[in-house]
Structure 1
Amino acid sequence: MDYSSFLRYLNDHIDTSGKSGRHIIRFTHPAIFAEMARQLRRRRNHDPALRRVRVSALLQALVCPMAPDRGIRERYGLLVEEDVRVSVHAATPSKDSPAGVPWGVRRIGAPDAWSVSTGNQIRIGVIDTGADFSHPDLRNSLARGVNILNQMSPPYDDNGHGTHIAGTIAASGGSRGMMGVAPRSLIYPVKAFDHNGSAYVSDIILGIDWCVQNRMHIINMSFGMKNKSLSLQNTIRRAYQAGIVVVASSGNDKKNRSVDYPARYPHTISVGATGRDGRVAPFSNHGPRIDIYAPGEKIKSCWLGGGYREMNGTSMATSHVSGSIALLLALRPGLTPGEIKRRLRRTARALPSPGAKSGPGEVHAARLLRARSAAAGKKPSGKSRP
């Protein structure tokens, strides 16, 4: 490949205003990508426009602000994908008082599991809008994380959604505040979503890249989109192959036999929402594409400014599942993502609806950990497909 020619072409077509959209350019050969990344770093000093190009080592791709262009495909034979927008999966929040132990955390039996596991030191990358580092219930639950949108700034939350997710997973406010599912796990906020709860696919990819490099155990993805992205799918697959459990919300469209991406990809655990009555929530997607359900209706959790809010959504359900997995991994760190998915389904509480016996059930953290005791003497099997 003529690297100099390609970088000149890229430099000439980059839109520094950012108004023409973005594209993801993927390389199929690792050696070609590695050399391209090396030459790109060297050329950035001479060609300022190239400083706008970002690199994903995990995907072996470049993210470029540029208009649609067939020249890259035709001249250089590279894979090019439009970088589209993704939104978080939640409804507008309503104000609420301190949550204590929220009903969803109680519903899945998390307090019954705390005598055995609190998720101690399990690292969870929450790819979202950031987190409120000043919240009293999250002060001992948040690690540094990363701001994908502005790497010079911490991942401060300017929306509230990420803080709500972090609270359900790992809040540790004790008797004066809120308790999450896994209160001694560590949340690493990965800010890929802006103040509107919107992100580019490329920002999510770079967030996953960061999670793999920094050895997260779990990635929480409480967001979705309608269109498939091969780049995002390949990145999630590589995270799965690295042993990371990827948990994704299924969407709030009331659809049967359909879920949003990335929950639809086979290497994720797709999560639907239940209500306080133990049934599938009216807004939740449902059906055989769901791997597990969890509480997602009127969920109280942490909010900006040290406060609390009540929210609906499969986003909220996903955070209950991520917390449950953290409790399990603190006891059984050798479990693979495929084994964890099977264990979640096997120990789930059946839903009171037609066909529930053969379909996915609702996560139950206490059962999940009790199942561990029966299998403690068995040697874990190798990785398998989800």
Structure 2
Amino acid sequence: MKSAAPLRLSIIATFSAVAALLLTATPALPAPLLAAPGQNCAQPGRDRVSGSWARVMLQADAVRALEDGGGTRVAVLSTGVDRGQPQLDDRVLAGADTVDNAGGADQDCTGTGTQVAGVVSGRPDGGDGDAAGLSPGATILPVRVMPDDPAGSEPTPGTLARGILTAVQADADVVVVAAPLYQDDPALESAVETALAQDVVIVAAAGDRGSRDDGNPDPYPASYPGVLGVGAIDQNGRIAPGSQFGKYVDLVAPGVAVPTLQTGRGVVEAGGTAIAAGFAGAAAALLRARDPGLSPAEVTRRLIATASPAPTGPAFGAGVVSPYAALTARLVDTDARDLPALEPAAIPDDTAETRRRSIAVTAAVITAALVTALLLVAAAIRRRTWRPGLPPRLHAPPEPVEPGPPIMLLDTPPATRPSAASRP
């Protein structure tokens, strides 16, 4: 009988070989599933996307014939912006990182900031024209206020407040806040007030927690006075799923399946109120390029006043942002204004005319009163002498005389009749 030990060793060796073969033959799991947060970078996009309903809705080609936003600087507060994206070429500055406070923000692992920058300032040069931005002449100032995380991330009150102040110090004309906070914070409110006082337009996403399960919490800084809050709509003009609603929504813009630039290269279809805020921020940049003297309040008022009509309700605000109407409209401030200094005209001497009119009016009133009195007296006399009249007697024709009874020829005359005594 053979020993069992060599048999066990042979079995173990066989299983080890099979396991090694299986491990070699089994494909490795995708790197993103094994990567740590912050290393799960988005893949490059497609080379082309057929058509862009957002560009058609916003009349992007007609807008570009009027203004391209050149000379303006738009700060994108998000996950950074990829400076190497070919369609952004040399228009992305180094920016700043308020999360780690280390270096710039001209790289974007997650891709959200690059997508927002794409609808602001993407160019069709060397790529897909359907993904070009609304304000291709604008320069992008990337400010990282939220960490790269494949599961999603949000800014903190500190990173967002510092991001706004950093944009102000870097001479931004427009600040686009791609992701809101859901708690009020004094430091954030103070940063917003500082930006507005320094002539910076702030455009903020209304947030994507508008579903019943998410509770539609108040977003900040969109809820602060002076900030342009933006919701998202789809191709049919309906509110995008999750787009929040409330008094903080001033406008809506495309935010579903919008072709835009992807980090690295290529094009993707993205959505959400961050994309919608990017379109509104681009419209603000166009206005500032067209008329640099406009204050943040005037820019906001112009965009709201020229919005395209949309269904009423707290989710739509004033309607759909219309950059073409905003660039071509000439609005008149409804505030009271003093008239130009003119010499007052002399008051004509119309005393005689006034006396004549007074006499004529008095005579007309007296005549009307006399006529009314005479009519009343005549009516009273008529009521006093009135008697009810009898109806006229109708003419009755004479009644015809009826003929007498016929004479009975067979009757005996009374004189020749026998008497009762002579009858037997």
1:187 partnered with 2:145? no
1:108 partnered with 2:58? yes
Displacement after TM superposition at 1:194 (Å)? 1.1
Task: Structure 1: state its 5+ residue gaps.
Answer: 1-91, 377-386
**Cα distance in 2, alignment partners of residues 94 and 143 from structure 1:** 21
> For the Cα contact (< 8 Å) 1:247–1:271, is it kept in 2?
yes
1:327 partnered with 2:283? no
Tell me which moved more, 362-371 or 103-112.
103-112
Aligned residues: 285
Identity of counterpart residues, as a percentage? Answer: 28
Q: 2:96: which partner in 1?
A: 146
Displacement after TM superposition at 1:159 (Å)? 1.1
Q: Which has the higher strand share?
A: 1
Report 1:345-364 matches (<5 A).
Answer: 345-351=304-310, 353-354=311-312, 359-364=317-322
1:315 partnered with 2:248? no
Larger radius of gyration: 2
1:78-110 residue CA offsets vs partner (Å, 9 max, x unmatched): xxxxxxxxxxxxxx9996553477321331122
AA of the residue aligned to 2:193: R
Report 1:57-76 matches (<5 A).
Answer: none
Displacement after TM superposition at 1:342 (Å)? 1.2
**Cα distance in 1, alignment partners of residues 72 and 111 from structure 2:** 23
> For the Cα contact (< 8 Å) 2:230–2:276, is it kept in 1?
yes
> For the Cα contact (< 8 Å) 2:174–2:201, is it kept in 1?
yes
Which secondary structure state, in structure 1, belongs to the residue aligned with residue 54 of structure 2? helix
Q: 1:159: which partner in 2?
A: 110
**Cα distance in 1, alignment partners of residues 161 and 118 from structure 2:** 24
Q: 1:221 to 1:182 in 2, by over 3 A?
A: same
Displacement after TM superposition at 1:360 (Å)? 1.5
Displacement after TM superposition at 1:369 (Å)? 0.4
Correspondence for 1:225 among 164, 169, 181: 181
**Cα distance in 1, alignment partners of residues 124 and 50 from structure 2:** 8
Task: Structure 2: state its 5+ residue gaps.
Answer: 1-41, 334-424
**Cα distance in 1, alignment partners of residues 122 and 70 from structure 2:** 13
1:251 partnered with 2:207? yes
1:121 partnered with 2:80? no
> For the Cα contact (< 8 Å) 2:47–2:127, is it kept in 1?
no
TM-score (norm 1): 0.68
Report 1:230-245 matches (<5 A).
Answer: 230-245=186-201
* Aligned-residue CA RMSD (Å): 2.8
AA of the residue aligned to 1:219: V
TM-score (norm 2): 0.62
1:317-370 residue CA offsets vs partner (Å, 9 max, x unmatched): 00000011111111111111111111111100111x3559x9520001111101
> For the Cα contact (< 8 Å) 2:253–2:279, is it kept in 1?
yes
1:131 partnered with 2:87? no
**Cα distance in 2, alignment partners of residues 98 and 143 from structure 1:** 26
**Cα distance in 2, alignment partners of residues 183 and 129 from structure 1:** 21
Q: 1:300: which partner in 2?
A: 259
> For the Cα contact (< 8 Å) 1:254–1:285, is it kept in 2?
yes
Displaced runs of 4 or more, over 6 A: none
> For the Cα contact (< 8 Å) 2:95–2:104, is it kept in 1?
no
> For the Cα contact (< 8 Å) 2:155–2:180, is it kept in 1?
no
**Cα distance in 1, alignment partners of residues 82 and 148 from structure 2:** 13
Q: 1:161 to 1:355 in 2, by over 3 A?
A: closer
Which secondary structure state, in structure 2, belongs to the residue aligned with residue 202 of structure 1? helix
Report 1:338-377 matches (<5 A).
Answer: 338-351=297-310, 353-354=311-312, 359-372=317-330
